[in-house]
């Protein structure tokens, strides 16, 4: 009997402080109508804690949904492009927080494709018998690299975390096909220049290279074409067609990108999970949060064919086709949540505004 990885638990953490389109009207020259029409986004969350705090909350919900203890997990993969720290890895930090003493742990960076890359990695390790129960988390604190004076970028992104548990199954469910790839030469379309050793020790951080840079129109085109081609590839490998798909859970970068990619694939929007309106683009956290919302709102039934797909910085892309198992209702629940805060969203963004202000001193 073929051994595959099936999803048995899911969870998410959406921080309580919201940055609405109305709030953004106070920060940059924009308006709610423009943002909703061009992106589908109405609000996003701004985290008042750290990346791992969100990851921990999402993981605790996923463990409860799967009916597992942290000690049952034998591998943690954390997908993030906005890590709290680079050594030790955030996955190790999370392992300590959860008390997942039996788990190996590592971080994976494939930008917005990170969770799907990690899901394919986890599934492959389970299929080969190396691991049995894997916790995959996507967690992002993107406001850290966001210039809240730049209307081209700051309206799009938000913070959050999502998690899923992958377990070994021989019932015919699990990952049937996958596609993942990268185009390094096109990487200059989405860059955060100085989050690594390019950061100058003597001169300190330069605001010009510390913010996310992307070329919106180029990325839009890459994304639409990339998602459609990647999903087709994964479906071919699984030996199924777009008509067989019950639900696509895409990366939530822009509602227009999702609509255009779905059109290319001939998949109606009734078979696409979209939750971008109150999440924004949360990079590696977006697919697991959408998956969690899909599961918790009854969008998945036993035996469904579910496709996860994402594209992002690198440029990277990944798609995975899963035959869902019997678990469509959480076994248990958790009351894990971030601690409350009295801070306003403007207070949380004050340091960003101050840091990036010199780049805009000459703006009209």
Ligand X SMILES: CC(C)(COP(=O)(O)OP(=O)(O)OC[C@H]1O[C@@H](n2cnc3c(N)ncnc32)[C@H](O)[C@@H]1OP(=O)(O)O)[C@@H](O)C(=O)NCCC(=O)NCCS
Q: Quick one: which of 2, 152, 170, 333 contacts ligand X (CB under 6 A)?
A: 152
42 binds ligand X (CB under 6 A): no
281 is catalytic: yes
> Which residue among 21, 47, 48, 112 is the active-site one?
112
Among 33, 204, 217, 362, binds ligand X (CB under 6 A): 217
Candidates 6, 281, 282, 309; binder of ligand X (CB under 6 A) is 281
CB of 184 to ligand X, least distance (A): 16
Residue whose C-alpha is closest to residue 272's, from 309, 236, 303, 302: 309
Residues 305-334 touching ligand X, rule: CB under 6 A, are 312
**Residue 330 Cβ vs ligand X, minimum distance, rounded to whole Å:** 29
Q: CA angle, 210 as apex, 250 and 344 as ends, to 5°? A: 75
Q: Note whether 145 binds ligand X by CB under 6 A.
A: no
Judged by beta carbon, residue 192 or residue 330, the one nearer ligand X is 192
Residue 161 lies near ligand X (rule: CB under 6 A)? no
Does 216 sit near ligand X (CB under 6 A)?
yes
> Which residues of 133-268 form beta strands (DSSP E)?
133-140, 160-169, 174-182, 190-191, 213-214, 247-250
Q: Output the smallest distance, CB 34 to ligand X, in A.
A: 4
User: What are the backbone dihedrals phi and psi of residue 163, each rounded to the nearest 5 degrees, phi first?
Assistant: -145, 150
Q: Does residue 48 carry a catalytic annotation? A: no
Q: Angle 178-11-348 (CA atoms, 0-180°, nearest 5)? A: 110
Which residue's CB is nearer to ligand X, number 312 or number 325? 312
* Residue 310 Cβ vs ligand X, minimum distance, rounded to whole Å: 8
8-state DSSP, 84: S
Using the rule CB under 6 A, which residue among 79, 139, 253, 274 binds ligand X?
253
73 binds ligand X (CB under 6 A): no
# of chain residues touching ligand X (CB under 6 A)? 20
Closest-approach residue to ligand X (CB): 216
Torsion of CA 83, 85, 87, 91, to 10 degrees: -50
- Which residue among 48, 281, 292, 352 is the active-site one? 281
Cβ(167)–Cβ(10) under 8 Å?
no
**Binder among 102, 206, 209, 220 for ligand X (CB under 6 A):** 220
**325: region left, alpha or beta (phi > 0 left; psi from -120 to 50 alpha):** beta
Nearest to 91, CA basis, from 131, 139, 128:
139
Q: For 197-235, b where at least 16 C-beta lie within 10 A, e where not — what string?
A: eeeeeeeeeebeebbbbbeeeebbebbbebbbbbbbbbb
Please, what is the minimum distance in Å from the beta carbon of residue 346 to ligand X?
18
Cα separation, 193 vs 206, in Å, equals 10
Single out the residue of 14, 108, 155, 321 in contact with ligand X (rule: CB under 6 A).
155
User: Of 29-37, 93-101, 202-210, 347-355, which part binds ligand X (CB under 6 A)?
Assistant: 29-37
Contact 40, 276 (CB under 8 A): yes
Site for ligand X, rule CB under 6 A: 30, 34-35, 38-39, 112, 151-152, 155-156, 190, 214, 216-217, 219-220, 253-254, 281, 312
Active site residues: 112, 251, 281
């Amino acid at each position: 009997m073929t051994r595959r990885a099936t999803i048995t638990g899911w969870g998410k953490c959406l921080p309580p402080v919201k940055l609405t389109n109305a709030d953004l009207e106070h920060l940059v020259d924009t308006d709610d109508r423009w943002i909703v029409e061009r992106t589908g986004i109405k609000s996003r969350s701004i985290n008042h804690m750290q990346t791992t705090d969100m990851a921990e909350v999402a993981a605790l919900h996923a463990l409860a949904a799967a009916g597992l203890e942290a000690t049952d997990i034998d591998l943690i993969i954390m997908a993030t492009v906005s890590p709290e720290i680079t050594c030790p890895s955030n996955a190790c930090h999370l392992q300590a927080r959860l008390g997942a003493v039996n788990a190996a742990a590592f971080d994976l960076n494939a930008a917005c494709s990170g969770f799907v890359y990690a899901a394919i990695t986890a599934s492959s390790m389970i299929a080969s018998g190396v691991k049995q129960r894997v916790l995959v988390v996507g967690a992002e604190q993107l406001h850290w690299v966001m210039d809240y004076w730049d209307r081209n970028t700051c309206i799009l992104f938000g913070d959050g975390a999502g998690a899923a548990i992958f377990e070994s199954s021989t019932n015919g469910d699990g990952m049937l096909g996958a596609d993942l790839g990268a185009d390094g030469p096109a990487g200059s379309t989405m860059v955060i220049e100085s989050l690594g050793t390019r950061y100058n020790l003597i001169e300190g951080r330069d605001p010009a290279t510390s913010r996310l840079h992307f070329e919106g129109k180029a990325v839009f085109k890459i994304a639409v074409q990339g998602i459609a081609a990647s999903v087709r590839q994964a479906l071919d490998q699984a030996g199924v067609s777009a008509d067989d798909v019950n639900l696509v859970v895409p990366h939530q970068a822009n509602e227009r990108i999702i609509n255009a990619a779905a059109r290319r694939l001939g998949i109606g929007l009734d078979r696409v999970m979209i939750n971008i309106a109150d999440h924004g683009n949360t990079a590696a956290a977006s697919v697991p949060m959408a998956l969690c919302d899909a599961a918790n709102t009854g969008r998945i039934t036993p035996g469904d064919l579910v496709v996860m797909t994402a594209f992002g910085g690198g440029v990277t892309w990944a798609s995975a086709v899963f035959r869902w198992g019997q678990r469509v209702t959480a076994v248990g629940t958790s009351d894990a949540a971030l601690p409350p805060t009295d801070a306003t969203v403007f207070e949380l963004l004050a340091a960003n505004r101050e840091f990036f202000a010199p780049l805009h001193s000459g703006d009209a």
